[in-house]
Amino acid sequence: MMSESITSIDSPQNDINSELRIIIIDENWSQYCYRIKVNTPFGRLIQRFCQQVCKADKKAVLFWYHGRLIVDEDTPKSLCIKDNEIRMQSKEL
pLDDT in tens, 73-83: 999 999 988 77
Strands (E), the chain: 19-25, 31-37, 61-65, 68-69, 87-92
pLDDT number for residue 74: 95
Q: What CATH number does the domain containing 73 carry? A: 3.10.20.90
What residue spans of the chain are helical by DSSP H? 12-16, 42-49
pLDDT at 4: 37
Whether 75 is covered by a domain: the verdict is yes
- Residue 78 domain-assigned? yes
3, part of any domain = no
Its pTM surpasses 0.85: no
Which residues constitute the domain of residue 82? 17-92
Higher-pLDDT residue of 84 and 29 is 29
In a domain, 10, yes or no: no
pLDDT digits (tens, 9 = 90+) for 26-69: 888 888 888 999 999 999 999 998 888 888 888 888 888 888 89
Rounded to 5 degrees, φ, ψ at 76 are: -55, -40
pLDDT reading at 86 higher than 70: no
